[in-house]
């Protein structure tokens, strides 16, 4: 009996020992598999659709990358793009974060030097999946720096690799800044924590370099430049500051700020923008305290007190004066997006253009759960662990998570910043729980190795716990798999639907229309559309647009909004002034495609009305609600957007059992039927009517007059005539238009 037990024990001992021996190999293999998985789970979009650039912003990044590869980095730096924001143009070199483009340009050049003739499009498409692999490696490193445990690191790496929130921005084809900058973010944190742990200047330099890459690739770098000072301040206040922290922060701050200034888009903002103020203040504070404690060695106690008083007063006074002067002089100010973060209602009140973007909305619980899934349940465990026995790095992890939760609640898109934090916390938490459970099981099987302690979880409960944890983890994996293969795989410029037999139908209206524009319009024709489609039109049709997704000029966007919201006559005047040749509208009334321009129209009205007050939102509400049917107001039905969207719509039957002209999105029959357009003519309508393109007609050759009814036989006095072209009204509008323009 005892010998049998001994042999069994020795067998398990052997297993245990050899497992420990091979642990590093397992470790590396698992990490590698995670990296590969993170890559593979993101290429569903290519398999289901094709290797194509997704959505809106990626089209600009793609176009810029093409330009970079063709013309070189200096040309990109000086690129003045006259094809967008007509006629203002956009100085691209100075208004772009070039990190993404430079990265893919680099990969392209290296591969071509190695005689691998890869297309730049494929580099762009697959860049984000490749960087997600790096992200999972960086998350492993960061978790290891926090907990010093590789099993927690592995779990975190797995969670980061497949967290749906991150996947939504980094599937193949989603060629956006976030694709590379989440890696840069996690990697910067990793190197910073390494510096905190080691106190090495070299690692501090690495931190600064990683931060530089982050600054080069995403405006979200402001998160880093704020969270690290907050972290340092927290340590200072709690009295946990030490030499290592000082080294880490000083090296990071000095080099990081200097490097950030090298990016043209950031430039001197790194000194005077409000986003950077915290870093300056903490730098001054930490060095002042250091200096102060050094001085204390030389001065008597009495002198110290007066000195302290003097210095505190001086410091407070100078900071106050400095802030007041800077604010009064307008040298420092918060950007609209940052203010929205501090006060979530700010954008809604003052900047409709920020509020109009769906990804700037406050996050709902459903998207929280969909994007993070069980991680939000497990990350509190990790948080608890971090506060339970705090070290500097654990405090950092916890701070990152807490701040991330706040920001993610304010804006949907910032879930992305939270995702790595939550994954790491969940990894830490689950591995901790695993460890507790495993310990109790191990002490049951191998009592000699694992000495039983006073209090330990009973092995039965441990086993149940292990099974449950495993179950939740696998549910998470399944959910992530679903998100990667279905929810986030759609390129959004190609839509797909399923019919009753379950066959997939590809709806390719966007590309059809953009290709039509490319082939059938003159090379310098100007296309007016709502700004959402600007990047796609320049990218795919190679035509000039008035406004695009780089919403840098609110007035210009408001002018386009005004044109869309005005009557056809007035819109014609605006279009002529802006040299518009074609107007492009997105219409989903046939296909029940809800993301169309009629649904966005209220934002156009709001943004237009923000600059041109004669456009009033309430004029577009019929019977108190926004509607397109017979109760829609005259202003609404006369607006260019309405006229263009529903032009000849009453001739088609859209739904069974409904009259002609039934809008499937608004679920109403349109209010105005059988009208003709006077100043615009239909140039193109895509297969499912999603994209409709109208050409602006030339001004009429003559300005004739038509008389009312029977008066034609008599010479009539002017009062009873109706001019065909409304001169009086036109003059009015023109005046108003130019006046506002000058403001």
Partner 1 sequence: MIKFLILILGIVFAGTPYNQKKVLVLSDNPAVYVSHSQFFNLLSKTYRVDYKNIQSNTFNLQLFGEWQYDHLILFSTTNDLKVSIQELLDFYDSGRNILLLGSTDQSKYFRKFLNSFGLDMHEYGSSVIDYFNNIKGNHNIVTTTNVNILKVDKPVAHQGAGLAMTPYETFQVYGLVRGSETAFSGSNLSHNIIYVGATQGRNNARFVATGSWEILSDEYLNNSNLGNFELTQEIIRWGFGQSKILKAENLIHRRLDSDDIKPYNYRLREDCYFSIDIFEWDYQKDQWIPYVSTENDVILEFVMLDPYYRVPLKKGQGAKYELSFKIPDVYGVFQFKINYLKPGYTFLKIAEKITVRPFRHDEYGRYLVQAYPYYFSSFGTMAGFVVFLIAFLLNK
Q: Which is nearer to partner 1, 503 or 701 (CB)?
A: 701
Stretch that binds partner 1, among 27-35, 79-87, 111-119, 568-576 (CB under 8 A): 79-87
Candidates 201, 723, 734, 736: give the one binding partner 1 (CB under 8 A). Answer: 723
**Total residues at interface with partner 1 (CB under 8 A):** 44
| Residue 453 CA neighbour count, 13 Å, CB half | 8
Token pair 């090495």: residue: 200
Q: How many residues does the chain have?
A: 743
If binding is defined by CB under 8 A, does position 77 make contact with partner 1? yes
Measured between alpha carbons, how far is 526 from 83 in angstroms, rounded to an integer? 9
Stretch that binds partner 1, among 149-157, 438-446, 610-618, 719-727 (CB under 8 A): 719-727
Candidates 707, 732, 735, 739: give the one binding partner 1 (CB under 8 A). Answer: 707
Nearest of 108, 149, 143, 146 to residue 125 by alpha carbon: 108
Token pair 């040298």: residue: 331
Measured between alpha carbons, how far is 37 from 590 in angstroms, rounded to an integer? 40
Tokens of 714: 């008599």
Give the contacts of 33 (CB within 8 A, at least 6 positions apart): none
Measured between alpha carbons, how far is 407 from 332 in angstroms, rounded to an integer? 22
If binding is defined by CB under 8 A, does position 727 make contact with partner 1? yes
Candidates 56, 86, 189, 374: give the one binding partner 1 (CB under 8 A). Answer: 86
CB of 82 to partner 1, least distance (A): 4
CB of 587 to partner 1, least distance (A): 29
Q: Which is nearer to partner 1, 144 or 556 (CB)?
A: 556
Stretch that binds partner 1, among 117-125, 315-323, 399-407, 521-529 (CB under 8 A): 521-529
If binding is defined by CB under 8 A, does position 80 make contact with partner 1? yes
If binding is defined by CB under 8 A, does position 700 make contact with partner 1? yes
- The DSSP secondary structure of 467-503, one letter per residue, reads HHHHHHHHHHHHHHHHIIIIIT---SSSEEEE-TT--
Q: Which is nearer to partner 1, 74 or 388 (CB)?
A: 74
Tokens of 169: 């921005």
Annotate 417-442 with three-state secondary structure. HHHHHHHHHHHHHHHHHHHHHHHHHH
Stretch that binds partner 1, among 237-245, 273-281, 613-621, 709-717 (CB under 8 A): 709-717
Q: Which is nearer to partner 1, 627 or 734 (CB)?
A: 734
Alpha helix (H) ranges present in 163-273?
A: 164-170, 177-198, 201-217, 221-237, 243-260, 269-272
CB of 240 to partner 1, least distance (A): 30
CA 607 to chain centre: 21
Stretch that binds partner 1, among 22-30, 148-156, 613-621, 712-720 (CB under 8 A): 712-720
Q: Which is nearer to partner 1, 194 or 543 (CB)?
A: 543
Helix axis angle for 2-40 and 120-147, nearest 10°, is 140
Candidates 1, 25, 74, 330: give the one binding partner 1 (CB under 8 A). Answer: 74
Q: Which is nearer to partner 1, 117 or 718 (CB)?
A: 718
Stretch that binds partner 1, among 326-334, 410-418, 668-676, 716-724 (CB under 8 A): 716-724
Asked if 224 contacts 210 with a C-beta cutoff of 8 angstroms, the reply is no
Candidates 12, 91, 250, 740: give the one binding partner 1 (CB under 8 A). Answer: 91
CB of 738 to partner 1, least distance (A): 7
- Beta-bridge partner residues of 544: 526
Token pair 């989440």: residue: 182
Token pair 């997006």: residue: 337
Tokens of 250: 């000083």
CA angle 607, 613, 619 (to 5 degrees): 80
CB of 71 to partner 1, least distance (A): 8
Q: Which is nearer to partner 1, 91 or 335 (CB)?
A: 91
How many CB atoms are closer than 10 A to CB 172? 30
Q: Return the exposure string of 568-582: e unless at least 16 CB atoms fall within 10 Å of the residue's CB, then b.
A: bbbbbbbbeebebbb
CB of 543 to partner 1, least distance (A): 11
**Residue ranges in 223-282 that form contacts with partner 1 under rule CB under 8 A:** 264
If binding is defined by CB under 8 A, does position 82 make contact with partner 1? yes
Tokens of 658: 């409904």
Q: Which is nearer to partner 1, 296 or 577 (CB)?
A: 577
If binding is defined by CB under 8 A, does position 524 make contact with partner 1? yes
Stretch that binds partner 1, among 96-104, 222-230, 516-524, 605-613 (CB under 8 A): 516-524
CB of 353 to partner 1, least distance (A): 19
How many CB atoms are closer than 10 A to CB 702? 8
Q: Which is nearer to partner 1, 468 or 731 (CB)?
A: 731
Candidates 17, 18, 32, 89: give the one binding partner 1 (CB under 8 A). Answer: 89
If binding is defined by CB under 8 A, does position 87 make contact with partner 1? yes
Give the contacts of 534 (CB within 8 A, at least 6 positions apart): 84, 545, 546, 547, 548, 549, 550
If binding is defined by CB under 8 A, does position 703 make contact with partner 1? yes
Collapsing DSSP to helix, strand or coil, 576 comes out as helix
If binding is defined by CB under 8 A, does position 519 make contact with partner 1? no
* Binding string, residues 553-592; x marks residues near partner 1 by CB under 8 A: ------------------------xx--------------
Q: Which is nearer to partner 1, 88 or 507 (CB)?
A: 88
Q: Which is nearer to partner 1, 59 or 434 (CB)?
A: 59
Asked if 529 contacts 601 with a C-beta cutoff of 8 angstroms, the reply is no
Give the contacts of 360 (CB within 8 A, at least 6 positions apart): 337, 340, 347, 354, 411, 412, 413
Stretch that binds partner 1, among 376-384, 451-459, 491-499, 692-700 (CB under 8 A): 692-700
If binding is defined by CB under 8 A, does position 552 make contact with partner 1? no
Stretch that binds partner 1, among 131-139, 359-367, 562-570, 718-726 (CB under 8 A): 718-726
If binding is defined by CB under 8 A, does position 721 make contact with partner 1? yes
Q: Which is nearer to partner 1, 293 or 714 (CB)?
A: 714
Stretch that binds partner 1, among 84-92, 189-197, 396-404, 565-573 (CB under 8 A): 84-92
Stretch that binds partner 1, among 81-89, 187-195, 474-482, 626-634 (CB under 8 A): 81-89
Asked if 417 contacts 165 with a C-beta cutoff of 8 angstroms, the reply is no
Candidates 298, 388, 455, 715: give the one binding partner 1 (CB under 8 A). Answer: 715
Measured between alpha carbons, how far is 20 from 79 in angstroms, rounded to an integer? 57
Token pair 């944890």: residue: 469
Candidates 18, 78, 95, 308: give the one binding partner 1 (CB under 8 A). Answer: 78
If binding is defined by CB under 8 A, does position 364 make contact with partner 1? no
CB of 721 to partner 1, least distance (A): 6
- The DSSP secondary structure of 57-92, one letter per residue, reads HHHHHHHHHHHHHHH-HHHHHT-EETTSSTTT-EEG
CA distances from 110 to 76, 118, 135, 594, 657 (A): 19, 10, 22, 43, 61
If binding is defined by CB under 8 A, does position 738 make contact with partner 1? yes
If binding is defined by CB under 8 A, does position 714 make contact with partner 1? yes
Nearest of 299, 189, 166 to residue 252 by alpha carbon: 189
If binding is defined by CB under 8 A, does position 702 make contact with partner 1? yes
Measured between alpha carbons, how far is 577 from 581 in angstroms, rounded to an integer? 11
**Residue ranges in 32-71 that form contacts with partner 1 under rule CB under 8 A:** 70-71
Chain residues that interact with partner 1, rule: CB under 8 A: 70-71, 74, 77-78, 80, 82-83, 86-89, 91, 93-94, 264, 522-524, 577-578, 698-707, 712-716, 718, 721, 723, 727-728, 738, 741-742
């Amino acid at each position: 009996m005892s010998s049998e037990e001994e042999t069994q024990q020795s067998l398990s001992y052997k297993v245990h020992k050899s497992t420990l021996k091979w642990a590093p190999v397992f470790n590396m293999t698992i990490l590698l598999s995670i990296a590969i998985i993170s890559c593979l789970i993101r290429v569903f979009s290519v398999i289901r659709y094709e290797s194509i650039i997704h959505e809106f912003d990626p089209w600009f990044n793609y176009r810029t990358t093409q330009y970079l590869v063709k013309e070189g980095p200096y040309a990109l730096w000086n690129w003045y793009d006259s094809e967008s924001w007509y006629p203002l143009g956009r100085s691209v070199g100075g208004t772009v974060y070039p990190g993404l483009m430079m990265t893919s340009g680099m990969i392209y050049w290296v591969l071509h030097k190695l005689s691998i003739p890869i297309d730049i499009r494929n580099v762009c498409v697959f860049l984000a999946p490749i960087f997600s692999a790096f992200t999972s490696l960086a998350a492993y490193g960061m978790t290891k720096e926090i907990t010093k445990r590789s099993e927690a690191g592995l779990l975190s790496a797995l969670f980061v690799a497949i967290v749906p929130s991150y996947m939504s921005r980094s599937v193949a084809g989603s060629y956006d800044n976030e694709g590379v900058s989440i890696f840069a973010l996690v990697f910067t944190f990793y190197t910073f924590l390494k510096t905190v742990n080691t106190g090495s200047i070299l690692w501090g330099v690495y931190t600064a370099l990683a931060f530089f890459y982050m600054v080069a690739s995403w405006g979200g770098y402001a998160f880093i430049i704020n969270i690290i000072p907050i972290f340092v301040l927290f340590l200072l206040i709690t009295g946990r500051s030490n030499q290592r922290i000082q080294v880490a922060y000083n090296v990071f701050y000095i080099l990081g700020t200097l490097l950030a200034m090298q990016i043209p888009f950031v430039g001197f903002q790194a000194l005077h923008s409000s986003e950077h103020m915290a870093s300056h203040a903490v730098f001054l504070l930490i060095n002042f305290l250091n200096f102060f404690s050094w001085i204390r060695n030389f001065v008597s106690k009495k002198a110290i007190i007066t000195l302290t008083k003097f210095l505190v007063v001086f410091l407070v006074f100078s900071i106050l004066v400095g802030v007041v002067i800077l604010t009064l002089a307008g040298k420092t100010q918060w950007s609209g997006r940052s203010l929205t973060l501090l006060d979530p209602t700010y954008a809604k009140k003052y900047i409709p253009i920020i509020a109009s973007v769906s990804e700037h909305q406050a996050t709902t619980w459903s998207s929280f759960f969909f994007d993070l899934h069980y991680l939000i349940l497990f990350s509190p465990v990790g948080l608890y662990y971090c506060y339970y026995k705090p070290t500097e790095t654990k405090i950092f992890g916890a701070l990152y998570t807490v701040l991330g939760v706040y920001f993610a609640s304010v804006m949907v898109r910032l879930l992305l910043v939270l995702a790595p934090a939550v994954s790491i916390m969940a990894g830490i938490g689950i591995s901790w729980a695993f460890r507790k459970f495993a310990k109790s099981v191990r002490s049951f099987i191998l009592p000699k190795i694992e000495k039983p302690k006073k209090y330990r979880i009973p092995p039965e409960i441990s086993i149940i716990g292990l099974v449950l944890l495993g179950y939740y983890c696998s549910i998470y994996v399944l959910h992530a798999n679903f998100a990667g293969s279905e929810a986030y795989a759609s390129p959004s410029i190609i839509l797909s639907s399923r019919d009753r037999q379950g066959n997939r139908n590809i709806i390719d209206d966007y590309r059809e229309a953009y290709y039509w524009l490319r082939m059938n319009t003159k090379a310098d024709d100007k296309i007016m559309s709502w700004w959402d489609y600007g990047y796609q039109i320049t990218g795919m049709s190679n035509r000039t647009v008035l406004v695009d997704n780089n919403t840098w000029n609110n007035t210009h966007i408001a002018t386009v909004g005004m044109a869309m919201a005005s009557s056809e006559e007035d819109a014609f005047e605006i279009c002529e002034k802006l040299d518009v040749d074609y107007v492009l509208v997105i219409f989903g009334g046939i296909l029940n495609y809800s993301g169309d321009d009629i649904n966005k129209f209220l934002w156009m009205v709001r943004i237009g009305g923000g600059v041109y007050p004669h456009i009033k939102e309430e004029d577009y509400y019929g019977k108190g609600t926004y509607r397109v049917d017979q109760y829609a107001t005259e202003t609404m039905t006369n607006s260019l957007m309405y006229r263009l969207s529903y032009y000849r719509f009453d001739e088609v039957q859209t739904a069974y059992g409904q009259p002609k002209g039934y809008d499937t999105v608004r679920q109403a029959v349109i209010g105005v039927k059988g009208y003709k357009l006077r100043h615009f003519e239909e140039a193109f309508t895509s297969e499912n009517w999603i994209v409709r393109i109208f050409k602006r007609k030339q001004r009429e050759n003559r300005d004739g007059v038509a008389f009312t009814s029977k008066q034609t036989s008599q010479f009539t006095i002017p009062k009873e005539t109706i001019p065909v072209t409304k001169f009086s009204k036109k003059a009015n509008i023109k005046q108003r238009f130019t006046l506002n323009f000058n403001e």
